[in-house]
A and B are shown apart, each in its own frame.
Chain A
Amino acid sequence: MSEIDLKKEGVTGVNQRLYKLPKDSNERHWVIRNPMGQHAIACGLDAPLTVEIQGHVGFYCGGMNKHADIIVHGHAGVGVAENMMSGTVWVKGNASESAGATANGGLLVIDGDASSRCGISMKGVDIVVGGSIGHMSAFMAQRGNLVVCGDAGDALGDSIYEARLYVKGKVASLGADCIEKEMRAEHLEDLAKLLERAKRNDRPQDFRRYGSARKLYNFNVDHADAY
């Protein structure tokens, strides 16, 4: 295990050390100390590293991640794991707005709560939130799964495409074109796997599933009042 002190090396210094690791490096496990809520920590990683961040992080931690497993032992600011391609980002605390925004793949786990716009425009990522999520989450969500073990705020899944949403608690309201859908066996099976990957003990059968009614996929003037 190797350690980097962000206070000494700065964000660019930390990121460059991780970017420049040789492909055959044995230094696969890194601990970043003193993150001090700085932005863009461990963004753009492109190697199967384990990166543990000991403290809170600012915006875009783990942004565009590929292959790396990033663990934040604290809270995360706006856009954690935004546009992630693969790998894992695990936030032990809470996350701010737009967690997992536009992410294409990988797994984002937030043990605590996530704020508004969680999973906005998600394009294939799996997101599991142990607590609750704020309003406008999964807005225009295209693909992937969003699992919420607590409650969801207003306008969940507004203008959603093909993403699947699972919520255990209450949903304040559903957004345009988002409806509750039947929870079939294959969904329970998928959900069980997602919960297991996020090390959750929740029971899949306690969740409800939401997705697109697909009524706004092609414009129809009679649906104009849905917006």
Chain B
Amino acid sequence: MDTNIPRTVPRKSATFDDYTLSEIRRAATTGIYDIRGAGAKRKLPHFDDLLFLGASISRYPLEGYREKCGTDVLLGTRFAKKPIALKIPITIAGMSFGSLSAQAKEALGRGASMAGTSTTTGDGGMTPEERGQSRHLVYQYLPSRYGMNPDDLRKADAIEVVVGQGAKPGGGGMLLGQKISDRVAQMRCLPKGIDQRSACRHPDWTGPDDLEIKIHELREITSWEKPIYVKVGGTRPYYDVALAVKSGADVVVLDGMQGGTAATQEVFIEHVGLPTLACIRPAVKALQDLGMHRKVQLIISGGIRNGADVAKAMALGADAVAIGTAALVALGDNDPHLEEEYRALGTTAGAYDDWHEGRDPAGITTQDPDLAKRLDPVKAGRRLSNYLKVMTLEAQTVARACGKSHLHNLEPEDLCALTVEAAAMAGVPLAGTNWIPGRGGY
């Protein structure tokens, strides 16, 4: 070969990139779709594409360290006799015992309670550890009804009817055999070690008319005391929120595609659903059109990471937010100090998502007793509480800068967007312009 002839450098395909090639090889070798935890990892329009405008001459700010900026939220004011009063508008999303260790569930309860907020059960029922450590516990009512019983229903502070979640709207639960321990199997009435694939539809209702009757039954059984939430994955937020309201929900939980899952097909996580940012305004519009904004509370989840995200979601009209993945990171998930162990699992800290395999070195997404006992629920709970408080302080900082004496007073007018996409999705002007794509005019 004549080395003097100039040659082009090797060029990899943008379409067939390294990740795509590795997935083709993996599928060809194993004969099964890729399953993983967490939410969408692809780059999506998100809260980072929005900025707060802050106060100046045309708006007065509030003193950062002196003037009050309220953070409390009351959930379930529509029908429930006993709404939930939270100190902060950041709740802990539903995550199951089974996908998480009992220690992790206890830590979530401890952290949430210290910070004055609620935590939520998951597919698999309520554990005593979780109930015992959670001042405000939301009980998920799922299609599988694993571990569902009227005693726990009545022990809960609110009930969340789960229709779907952002990572897999239209999909059911999945807990693979490695994590079906004796205790998990017993709680779910399943044989140990099987792959548990739970249903995507509720077994005894279909559609909004039935859901209304189901909610009525739940209210009867709990003597109309508990707030009833309805959780949906982000797909058609305007219609789904309107139908949840029609069905009698006190609270609507709307989860975008960055919202995590314990285990789902990669193709589902990355290719089904809407980014969180795109969900909020249609949902708020549905509530406003029905005259129910702030009467039926809206909780937004899916990729909330810091106080700025909290403030932005609330400025767009949410009453509160929920965190799942971020809460696990606060407990110790994907921590760099475990890098050697992550490498042994063929991954790296920050990328570990094989939560379904139950080999989590952080002791969080596992049922292995030796791994699970690595997590100290007291210390991990404290970390979560710290994190929740920092997020709240950050959100207050932004709100005061916008002249708001309560996080609920933030409004879309406080925001602008950095990209045309984010401007269109959030319904706020592109920075430096008064242009909101899709609203007409230039």
Contacts and interface: CB of A to CB of B under 8 A. Distances in A.
Interface of A: 11-12, 15-16, 19, 39-40, 43-44, 46, 58-60, 63-64, 66, 78-79, 82-83, 85, 97-98, 101-102, 104, 117, 120-121, 123-124, 139-140, 142-143, 159, 161-162, 217-219, 221-222
A222 B149 CA distance: 37
A162 B196 CA distance: 13
Contact of A43 (B199, B210, B221): B221
Nearest to A212: B191
A85 B149 contact: yes
A115 B265 CA distance: 33
A39 B195 CA distance: 36
A6 B322 CA distance: 41
Tell me if A's interface is mostly helix, strand, loop or mixed.
loop
A219 B203 contact: no
Interface of B: 30-32, 144-145, 148-150, 153, 177, 188-191, 193-195, 197, 199, 203-205, 210, 213-214, 216-217, 220-224
29 contacts: A16-B223, A19-B223, A40-B217, A40-B220, A40-B221, A43-B220, A44-B222, A59-B210, A60-B217, A66-B150, A79-B204, A83-B148, A83-B149, A85-B149, A98-B203, A102-B148, A102-B203, A121-B144, A121-B145, A123-B145, A124-B189, A139-B203, A142-B188, A142-B189, A142-B190, A143-B189, A161-B194, A219-B32, A221-B31
Sorted nearest first, the 7 A-B pairs with minimum C-beta distance are: A221-B31, A44-B221, A79-B204, A102-B145, A64-B150, A98-B204, A40-B217
B354 to A, nearest CB: 15
B371 to A, nearest CB: 22
A49 to B, nearest CB: 15
Contact of A60 (B145, B195, B213): B213
Contacts of B149: 64, 83, 85, 104
A104 B204 CA distance: 15
Nearest to A58: B213
A142 to B, nearest CB: 5
Given A39-B216, A39-B217, A78 B204 contact: yes
A137 B385 CA distance: 46
Contacts of A40: 213, 216-217, 220-221
Contacts of B153: 64
Contact of A217 (B30, B144, B194): B194
B172 to A, nearest CB: 10
A159 B204 CA distance: 17
Contacts of A19: 223
A60 B204 contact: yes
Contacts of A44: 150, 217, 220-222
A63 B190 CA distance: 22
A221 B31 CA distance: 6
Nearest to A16: B223
